[in-house]
């Protein structure tokens, strides 16, 4: 591990010395800037930047999965505009581990920002390679595997790495030497004294604390959880014990990215004489990569194909699937809804949730659990009586241990909602770090590291959320999201108008079509009245010279207040103007057909 520090020994002029003494809130040429484009005030889209001179070292590039009110949004990513503006600067990306909130944004980042190379641990390299191959983006990307023995040397930054324990293999923390001081970034971590995988590098952490660390950035996700977290080995024993007691078919849902947990589940199933079948695309990918990298050491003979499932006794099968967070399209949700291609729930099935709901997902998870119970399944979740899950993030006592090992002069809690950052600050104060040396920042806030001292800058970097629909990284605007919200709540009204622009007149009464606003058969009077109001307004408007744009505004300005007064709802109003007599005739025929349909008697 490289702990040598690059120092600038160039003599300072008197003017420079005075600037350093009095200009504390503005950046100077030799400052090291530290800021987050994502990961502060939220759980997800982690992206932390270290900038000095003509170089930017980026740690992680993640996504955040959208909340329910972000209709149609697939991912939330950071705003890369600051990096785009600095595209001439040399940029290197370092990945701490392979979770989506740390690697999911890489394809979007590479589309807009010039990245010289991506450095990542072995398992993350496999996941990133798969991700870029699927998007046909792997060619031209320099992807370099790192470990705790690797070092990364740039002109201004020198990085060393150390092993941490997390819920995915090959999780690393980073020591960053800069011209102005040492920074440690823990990545996601926990302290597990009996881990399933490799142990954390306690000695290296303690050594870094002895040689001196100026600033620590540390994981805050479980800042509100007291004591130590449960060991993975206890979870493994609980899962094995549960499987031994289960007589019927077994379905286990967990995070696909928790490779050690998936390996435990598969090994426990085999120990109980069960064959394993995997469902869910992300789960299938992780198991394939886990077996290739040796993290899941299970032979092909222990797995079932979907076609073999129907011919295997229920007490000899174990289904491992995605959907532990109640995702609508995940395997478990489709099983609960009865829409899965290969699995139909039968009374006596046992479903194990080896996970805890992420904040905000509780309602979705409960909905799936209720459907499973209705189908006659026995559902087991983590509770006081059963340790079927443990976290991959440090609880308060583990956070204190990290702070005591690293002994930083300054501290910046990262990776968490604001309350988590604040709770982590309180924990740091308990360990002896002065309150004024702790920075509870938001995305875009800039810290200045200058001559082993850290303070906040008076300026900020734009670090807004970008909403991605599909693969379009231009982002869905807030106006589009507002329209989607209106459509979801109030529906849509289309007004079809036939005019003759040569004679400057409306050819026939408008036709109003409603979707999601009112039920047409029950609202004929309302729609007829609306048609007449729009018709009269258009006739008055077309007494003078006008434009298509003004006609559309006339329709909206007339119809929207009328509909709100009648229904207290604000649907989106879309005027459609047809400028031809032939189209007018087709519109009249359509109107006649619609009237005929309305007059048909309802079936008994």
Residue 514 has what pLDDT?
85
Strands 472-476 and 453-460: unpaired
Query: Model's pTM, two decimal places?
Result: 0.80
Does 392 belong to an annotated binding site? yes
Does 489 belong to an annotated binding site? no
User: Which residues in 34-45 are b (16+ Cβ under 10 Å) and which e?
Assistant: bbbbbbbbbbbb
H or E element, residue 536: helix 524-541
State the number of CA atoms in the 13 A half-sphere of 429 facing the CB. 11
> For the segment 18-56, what is each residue's pLDDT rounded down to a tens digit?
334 334 457 888 999 999 999 999 988 999 999 999 999
> For the segment 358-376, what is each residue's pLDDT rounded down to a tens digit?
766 778 888 899 999 998 8
Say whether pLDDT at 591 is over 80. Answer: no
Give me the mean pLDDT over the 367-391 stretch: 82
Does 391 belong to an annotated binding site? yes
Q: 482 is written with which tokens?
A: 């507002």
> For the segment 143-179, what is each residue's pLDDT rounded down to a tens digit?
999 999 999 999 999 999 999 999 999 999 999 999 9
Does 386 belong to an annotated binding site? no
What is the number of other CB atoms lying within 10 angstroms of the CB of residue 106?
Answer: 27
Q: 408 is written with which tokens?
A: 């930083």
Does 166 belong to an annotated binding site? yes
What is the number of other CB atoms lying within 10 angstroms of the CB of residue 104?
Answer: 25
Catalytic residue among 31, 79, 219, 465: 219
Give the largest CA-CA distance in the chain: 97
Does 415 belong to an annotated binding site? yes
Cα–Cα distance measured from residue 103 to residue 213, given in angstroms and rounded to the nearest whole number: 27
Does 285 belong to an annotated binding site? no
Does 437 belong to an annotated binding site? no
Residue 597 has what pLDDT?
61
Helix (H, G, I), strand (E, B) or coil at 581: helix
Question: CATH topology for 30-227+391-475?
Answer: Metallo-beta-lactamase; Chain A (3.60.15)
Residue 85 has what pLDDT?
94
Does 256 belong to an annotated binding site? yes
Is residue 219 among the annotated active site residues? yes
Does 424 belong to an annotated binding site? no
Q: 162 is written with which tokens?
A: 């150390």
> For the segment 80-123, what is each residue's pLDDT rounded down to a tens digit?
999 999 999 999 999 999 999 999 999 999 999 999 999 999 99
Cα–Cα distance measured from residue 518 to residue 524, given in angstroms and rounded to the nearest whole number: 10
Is residue 568 among the annotated active site residues? no
Question: CATH topology for 477-597?
Answer: Ubiquitin-like (UB roll) (3.10.20)
Does 596 belong to an annotated binding site? no
Helix (H, G, I), strand (E, B) or coil at 601: coil
Among 521, 324, 449, smallest CA distance to 335 is for 324
Cβ–Cβ < 8 Å for 58, 47 = yes
| Strand ranges for 202-327 from DSSP E | 213-219, 250-253, 275-279, 317-321
> For the segment 303-326, what is each residue's pLDDT rounded down to a tens digit?
999 989 888 998 899 999 998 887
What 3 state SS string does 312-364 have?
Answer: CCHHHEEEEECCCCCCCCCHHHHHHHCCCCCCCCCCCCEEEECCCCCCCCHHH
Q: 388 is written with which tokens?
A: 């079927």
Q: Which CATH number is associated with domain 232-380?
A: 3.40.50.10710
Overall residue count recorded for the chain in this entry: 604
Cα–Cα distance measured from residue 321 to residue 462, given in angstroms and rounded to the nearest whole number: 39
> For the segment 4-17, what is each residue's pLDDT rounded down to a tens digit?
444 333 444 433 33
Catalytic residue among 393, 424, 445, 465: 393
Q: Where are the domains of the chain?
A: 30-227+391-475, 232-380, 477-597
Cα–Cα distance measured from residue 39 to residue 354, given in angstroms and rounded to the nearest whole number: 25
């Amino acid at each position: 591990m490289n702990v040598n520090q690059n120092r600038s020994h160039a003599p300072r002029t008197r003017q420079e010395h005075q600037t350093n003494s009095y200009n504390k809130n503005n950046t100077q040429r030799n400052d090291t800037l530290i800021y987050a484009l994502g990961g502060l005030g939220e759980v997800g889209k982690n992206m932390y930047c270290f900038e000095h001179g003509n170089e930017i070292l980026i740690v992680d590039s993640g996504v955040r999965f959208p909340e329910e009110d972000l209709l149609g949004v697939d991912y939330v990513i950071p705003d890369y505009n600051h990096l785009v503006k600095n595209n001439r600067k040399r940029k290197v990306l370092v990945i701490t581990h392979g979770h989506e909130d740390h690697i999911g944004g890489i394809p979007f980042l590479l589309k807009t920002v010039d990245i010289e190379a991506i450095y990542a641990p072995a398992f993350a390299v496999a996941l990133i390679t798969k991700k870029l191959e699927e998007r046909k983006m792997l060619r031209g990307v320099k992807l370099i595997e790192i470990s705790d023995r690797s070092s990364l040397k740039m002109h201004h930054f020198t990085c060393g790495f150390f092993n941490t324990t997390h819920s995915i293999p090959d999780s690393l923390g980073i020591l960053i030497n800069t011209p102005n001081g040492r920074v440690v970034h823990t990545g996601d971590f926990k302290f597990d004294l009996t881990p399933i995988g490799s142990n954390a590098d306690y000695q290296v952490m303690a050594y870094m604390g002895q040689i001196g660390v100026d600033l620590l950035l540390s994981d805050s996700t479980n800042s509100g959880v007291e004591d130590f977290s449960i060991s993975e080995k206890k979870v493994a024993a609980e899962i094995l014990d549960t499987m031994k007691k289960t007589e019927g078919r077994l379905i286990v849902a967990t995070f696909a990215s928790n490779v050690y947990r998936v390996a435990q589940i598969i090994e426990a199933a085999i120990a109980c004489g069960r064959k394993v079948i995997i469902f869910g695309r992300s789960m299938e990918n992780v198991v394939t990569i886990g077996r290739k990298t040796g993290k899941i050491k299970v032979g092909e003979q222990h797995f079932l194909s979907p076609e073999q499932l129907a011919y295997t006794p229920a007490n000899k099968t174990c289904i491992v699937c995605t959907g532990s967070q109640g995702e609508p399209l995940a395997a478990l949700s489709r099983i609960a809804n009865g829409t899965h291609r290969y699995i139909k729930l039968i009374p006596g099935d046992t479903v194990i949730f080896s996970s805890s709901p992420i904040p905000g997902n509780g309602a979705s998870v409960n909905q799936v659990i209720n459907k499973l119970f209705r189908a006659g399944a026995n559902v087991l979740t983590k509770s006081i009586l059963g340790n079927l899950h443990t976290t991959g993030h440090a609880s308060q006592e583990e956070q204190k241990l990290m702070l005591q090992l690293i002994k930083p002069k300054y501290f910046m809690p990262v990776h968490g909602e604001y309350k988590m950052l604040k709770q982590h600050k309180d924990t740091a104060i308990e360990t002896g770090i002065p309150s004024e040396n702790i920075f509870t920042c938001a995305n875009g806030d800039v810290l200045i590291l200058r001559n082993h001292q850290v303070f906040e800058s008076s300026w900020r970097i734009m670090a807004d959320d970008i909403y991605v629909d599909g693969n379009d990284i231009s982002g869905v605007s807030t106006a589009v999201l507002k329209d989607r919200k209106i459509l979801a709540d109030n529906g849509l009204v289309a007004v079809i108008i036939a005019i003759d622009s040569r004679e400057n007149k409306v050819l026939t009464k408008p036709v109003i079509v409603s979707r999601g606003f009112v039920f047409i058969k029950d609202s004929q009077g309302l729609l007829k009245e609306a048609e007449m109001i729009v018709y009269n307004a258009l006739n008055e408007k077309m007494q003078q010279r006008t434009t298509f744009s003004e006609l559309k505004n006339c329709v909206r300005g007339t119809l929207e207040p009328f509909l709100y007064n009648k229904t207290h709802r604000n649907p989106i109003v879309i005027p459609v103007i047809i400028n031809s007599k032939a189209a007018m005739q087709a519109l009249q025929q359509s109107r006649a057909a619609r009237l005929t349909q309305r007059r048909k008697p309802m079936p008994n």
